Chains A and B, each alone.
Chain A
């Protein structure tokens, strides 16, 4: 997102919030989110992909809603209206191909109507076939959807699979390939959208969610302020906030929202973008001379990635406040935490909470139940490593992200065992100065552990990451 897009977001948020007819606001939000979904999708060298991807995303969202919704609740008037608005928007956006509006909503000219018609007919056929299916079938279908979404995420996050798929789409459209152009699928916000969908399906399967309207569901999944960079809210909370009927914001609410957006803009565009100039990346790695400069560029990267992400979160939360929707916090001074566990409790919090809820806790429980003889240490090691490995893969299915995840998994494991050992030792109370020194030392150590961990994250290959570490310790380049 650039600042012009954010400015549009702010204007749209204000218009929707102050729209005179209050019960239309939810529908306006849905329409705006759909339009922004297409507007934000970047141009692709693969023909029509900037139309296909948002459309598929909306279809998948509709399907997911259908299978988590009990048959009795599906054909409610509001849901039909939401469906009509969604497909009305889709047809309108598709029709811009004839209005000469290319480049205004979609990055390129949308395809002929046949794709959309086939998709919609397919969707309604699916709806019709499953119109009276009972909850049991829906649970089974939910599992199919879970597996499908995970496979989709793996394809999109693995560079090789992603590029291969992109080429196949191009081939299907008889598109010729130039070796100069990188063919890949860049699907805006898909990681967040899929995690929201997975959350709703899992919660439905475990009876923690029932009966969400399509409009709420759509608004939750594609809520435009949090579309591209989170946070990942829970639908129960989001729906509750949304259905407070968006009361007009009071003065304090507006000031607080404006301040949050301003902070976000400052963090992202003044600080993060500035630090990006000196942050380490694969192009300047071979140019930087001396270990001190390498260290400085790593610190710059660490600060940049936090400010960039935290800035976007501030903007999303501020925009949410304009709507009267309190989005969850994602960052809470993560670099000032004295150990790696607290770092992860305060870094990308909604993602870690998601993994805790849908992987760490249930799998830990199952393992403890099934393998009671396995030592606690081994169990902790396995769970920390696999959780962090999955978090690494969420960013990308590459060796570097895997090592980044394992790096943190190992850090969490070591910290866990160290804390357990300290507790057993029952240390005598130390002086306040010593406690402060330990705290400062912990913050410093944790920050450096995280900052060096970013090397795996920032570099595109293992070789270059190793090269960075070698340079820090005085090794030669390349």
Chain B
């Protein structure tokens, strides 16, 4: 700033003007709620990510967790859709679908893509999109599905679930669900879903939280996501892979408890099957497959009491019975793959598979559809 310019400025007036301007911008921001998440360099300057942004160590993973749903979709490779020249399949689920400790090509979607499948009727190549996100909640999946169905016109949905993601009390816990109360309101109104059984409820942002200052973290995250997009495109890395990790427990406690449920007390009322029904009803025209994902079946200590760290045997068995009944009642396309993978093919959690374990699941799913005449293999 030159001397002449500095001389003509009254610092008090300057500060007051800046303050007034700042207040006005904040009020306008809160009133109109602009959505900065819609602006993205992904799929324009850099390639889209094969899975949603998620991670705790951005400096190493070139990826990190944020809650802005628009920014998440804008950064995803799915954002170039719809594409009439392919048969689009969305794959929903938790961290096992997202692919913790797996390279993008090793995830379920990646492995399904590598099978080179074609849709039987149209002969279009099938392209699978990884819409998994590492929290255990069907509501989170439903929010993602609702967004994706409207925007990307998929031809099929595969939704992987497990008991932990189905408990009502878990439904609104996830930070991404908490950060998107409008989506919950939308689901409630559009599909007549009641979340009253959830342990906690979502809260709308108050006026101050909606201002520019209130949303500064969200905006900063969106900008950071663009920067890490450059590194993602430059390196192909979107996850931190530690050299060593703690393996999922095989030696288990002699403990039959499952949250507050006593043995035999888990019922259909406790599971959010309505959300699966709502998901299926979102678009009745397209095939909709529900998969009970593989879990670690331990052969170690107390494996007669528990299958794994998450599940006592009685609770998980009960859950499978309920899912089977719901399948019959609702005419789902349902595959129960719970025991498909041996305990050696699990990594750091009772639901995280190794590349080989994931390959087994991918081939199993492909076989199921090839048998049903929906998909054909090129080879």
B6 at the interface (CB under 8 A from A): yes
Other-chain residue from A252, A277, A288, A290 in contact with B7 (beta carbon distance below 8 A): A252
A-B contact pairs, 8 of them (CB 8 A): A251-B11, A255-B1, A256-B3, A256-B6, A277-B231, A278-B231, A287-B237, A288-B235
Do A259 and B11 have beta carbons less than 8 Å apart? no
B interface list, Cβ under 8 A from A: 1, 3, 6-7, 9-11, 14, 60, 223-224, 227-228, 230-231, 233-237
Q: What is the distance, in angstroms, from A249's C-beta to the closest C-beta of chain B?
A: 10
Other-chain residue from B10, B227, B237 in contact with A251 (beta carbon distance below 8 A): B10
Other-chain residue from A254, A290, A293 in contact with B11 (beta carbon distance below 8 A): A254
Contact with B along A274-316 (1 / 0, CB 8 A): 1001100001100111100100110000000000000000000
Q: What is the distance, in angstroms, from A105's C-beta to the closest C-beta of chain B?
A: 30
Residue of A nearest to B46 (CB): A293
CB-defined contacts of B7 to chain A, threshold 8 Å = 252
Do A252 and B231 have beta carbons less than 8 Å apart? no
4 extra interchain contacts, Cβ-Cβ under 8 A, other than A256-B1, A277-B231? A252-B9, A253-B6, A256-B6, A260-B1
Known: A277-B224, A277-B228, A278-B227. A255 touches B6 (CB 8 A): yes
Please measure, in the bound complex, the distance between the C-alpha atom of A277 and the C-alpha atom of B64, giving whole angstroms.
13
Q: What is the distance, in angstroms, from B175's C-beta to the closest C-beta of chain A?
A: 23
Residue of A nearest to B227 (CB): A277
Do B11 and A296 have beta carbons less than 8 Å apart? no
CB-defined contacts of A260 to chain B, threshold 8 Å = 1
CB-defined contacts of A278 to chain B, threshold 8 Å = 227, 230-231, 234
Residue of A nearest to B230 (CB): A278
Please measure, in the bound complex, the distance between the C-alpha atom of A255 and the C-alpha atom of B236, giving whole angstroms.
47
Do A289 and B3 have beta carbons less than 8 Å apart? no
A234-267: which residues lie under 8 A (CB-CB) from chain B?
Answer: 251-256, 258-260
Contact with B along A108-127 (1 / 0, CB 8 A): 00000000000000000000
Q: What is the distance, in angstroms, from A281's C-beta to the closest C-beta of chain B?
A: 10
CB-defined contacts of A274 to chain B, threshold 8 Å = 223, 227
Other-chain residue from B10, B14, B231 in contact with A284 (beta carbon distance below 8 A): B231
Please measure, in the bound complex, the distance between the C-alpha atom of A288 and the C-alpha atom of B227, giving whole angstroms.
14
Q: What is the distance, in angstroms, from B184's C-beta to the closest C-beta of chain A?
A: 33
Please measure, in the bound complex, the distance between the C-alpha atom of A256 and the C-alpha atom of B234, giving whole angstroms.
41
Q: What is the distance, in angstroms, from B11's C-beta to the closest C-beta of chain A?
A: 5
Do A293 and B14 have beta carbons less than 8 Å apart? no
Residue of B nearest to A292 (CB): B234
Please measure, in the bound complex, the distance between the C-alpha atom of A96 and the C-alpha atom of B123, giving whole angstroms.
79
Q: What is the distance, in angstroms, from B81's C-beta to the closest C-beta of chain A?
A: 25
Do B235 and A255 have beta carbons less than 8 Å apart? no
Q: What is the distance, in angstroms, from B12's C-beta to the closest C-beta of chain A?
A: 9
